[in-house]
Structure 1
């Protein structure tokens, strides 16, 4: 599959999780839409884009398990979450229950809105190593109080690369009358997703990561109960529309005037590519590589797995605890000297080297990383 991607063949790319990678056929479709836009901008923006967008949404709706009327495209999950937060009527003393495994941009977003509203973000500690799903649920819900109004949690965490039991969390939150916001940035195209079965109030996912779409393609699902309460992040022609559709929710959020939505419109091509290339099988092969290699890398780096080595907690990513005084220097050395693209995360839970694989990877890539880490241990003091 490596020849299907635009990635530099001189680089060992072990960081699909950060921004994804787009295959050539999908990127060509992306450019085709951009050329059509530039050939006749007025007709494309005012007429054709509506038809193309409807088709793209119908394809995606079947793929993620919800109605096409209940979501709209966004450039990334951060924009999606900001849209939700600007419409939540949080007040002083209200609490948002989340974890200490969330994405840095989301932590900053909650800090900003809590400072404005006087609400409190409770980042519940989910301790490592993970022992069981029951442990996660017990530790998470120990942060619940009568002041809790909102649940915010990643279905797959970024730095620690863990799959969290969000179905069980959504079910209990619903019983308690809490609003649920799920950050599924790493989910579509990575693990199975059926939003209707999960039944959150809000769900955002990225298409440009594991679904292989061009950069800048994500979505925000909003349960019908909340659609009238979610204001547009940008007020534009959809507000007080001269030609309103049956959905004020979509009018407000979908029609933003002049912008390039080509990445959104590639969705049918994206899904066709995944289906025609047996992507579920390829994803399973990547998970197998992760499960087979994770403990070996932990042993090499004198650390322990942060979770049971199981598909219940691990997908196509794994995070290895490492000991280093210079995480940034280590990352730079790996890239500039050894041509390995891999992130090194510094968190309040420790420092992690995260491996994320897709179909263009093989055991050979992991062997290159292994031999490189051995050399770094022998020749530098970057790995303690």
Structure 2
């Protein structure tokens, strides 16, 4: 089977970023990359803030935040009045978990594809409240139908107080059928919290079409916003129960202001986020999505071939449009988190290539991303040099 052809580069896209040209940045999924124009928009806001801090914070800032929220929520297909800006997806998850009023004997259900920090948040809330965390194992190669059936069988109506699932998993680059999962959970009366950290900007699915009780996604990964920008969307029946992690002066205003307002927080990342959407729209949203997904698939195949992985053993994300791809590492390599981090650092230092190395279910995985600033030769160079580095273990 021949290697697929890489997509045509988007002219001028690489010049929009200030990334070090001596490094191949193949891990956009972890921290994103902020376009230069967005960096400058945020700096102008910081200059405004520092020129007169009192005026910046006390004259209209709450309204400016609300205006920004409406803009971002509109792009994502979420109800602006039922959404709140938060620092990142993990923060949004923590807000929801501590607002549920969990009690001893309640159960928080999740899957073994969940993000590590979210799993830690669940464990902490369970320790605090006496609730129980239960994790459903789901095979990496499970079909959407099998995945939904596993979750259906795992629900315990009357005991499962919330189901936490990913829209697109970080560790395994797998797209979950979020809307179908929500439908099954609703049949059993179980609320659903969707971790959509990678969805905004990458996936075309709207928040409203998923129908989750809680949905939270980062805009600083694939929507080019400054870091520290995420949206938490909450269904109407839950909004009065959502409490911030820290009480501030907008507490009596209710949701979403009570969650958004955190006194002297640096709000410039949120206020500059629409500039990120402007960049994405200027390049062409559909064009960027198609380019990134095709480039990630090309990189997966090229590097997979170099490591001797048959195409049939390269994990499929579930459907087209996903800009994250996994490649299995040799058996016995990066089987722990510490080993994965050490290997990731070695690849960065020795090969000048920033990648993600994941440890999942006792197996090491290389995760690659595709972004408009990447070119096919970056994956080809990694494919040439990576096998020798792995052989040195």
What's the TM-score once normalised by structure 1's chain length? 0.92
The farther-off stretch of 258-267 and 139-148 is 139-148
1:298 pairs, out of 287, 301, 304, with 304
1:306/1:38 CA distance change after superposition, 3 Å: farther
Aligned match of 1:135:
146
State the Cα deviation string for residues 228-274 of structure 1 (Å, max 9, x = none): 1111211111124xxx5xxx212322222212100000122121111
The farther-off stretch of 343-352 and 106-115 is 343-352
Is 2:376 the partner of 1:363? Answer: yes
Say which SS state the counterpart of residue 73 (structure 2) adopts.
Answer: helix
Aligned match of 1:66:
78
1:349/1:281 CA distance change after superposition, 3 Å: farther
The farther-off stretch of 324-333 and 14-23 is 324-333
* 1:64 and 1:194 in contact (8 A); partners too: yes
Q: Distance in 2 between matches of 1:234 and 1:164?
A: 32
* 2:225 and 2:273 in contact (8 A); partners too: yes
Q: Distance in 2 between matches of 1:307 and 1:178?
A: 34
Q: Distance in 2 between matches of 1:106 and 1:52?
A: 30
Is 2:341 the partner of 1:334? Answer: no
1:104/1:58 CA distance change after superposition, 3 Å: same
Is 2:181 the partner of 1:174? Answer: no
Q: CA deviation at 1:48?
A: 3.3
State the Cα deviation string for residues 146-198 of structure 1 (Å, max 9, x = none): 32221100101001111111110011111211111000000000111311111
The farther-off stretch of 297-306 and 174-183 is 297-306
* 1:128 and 1:306 in contact (8 A); partners too: no
- Name stretches of at least 5 consecutive residues in structure 1 with no aligned partner: none
* 1:206 and 1:219 in contact (8 A); partners too: yes
Is 2:232 the partner of 1:220? Answer: yes
Aligned match of 1:165:
177
What's the TM-score once normalised by structure 2's chain length? 0.90
Q: CA deviation at 1:67?
A: 1.9
- Name stretches of at least 5 consecutive residues in structure 2 with no aligned partner: 1-12
Aligned match of 2:50:
38
Q: Distance in 2 between matches of 1:312 and 1:238?
A: 42
Alpha-carbon RMSD: 1.9
Aligned match of 1:275:
281
The farther-off stretch of 350-359 and 113-122 is 113-122
Aligned match of 2:122:
110
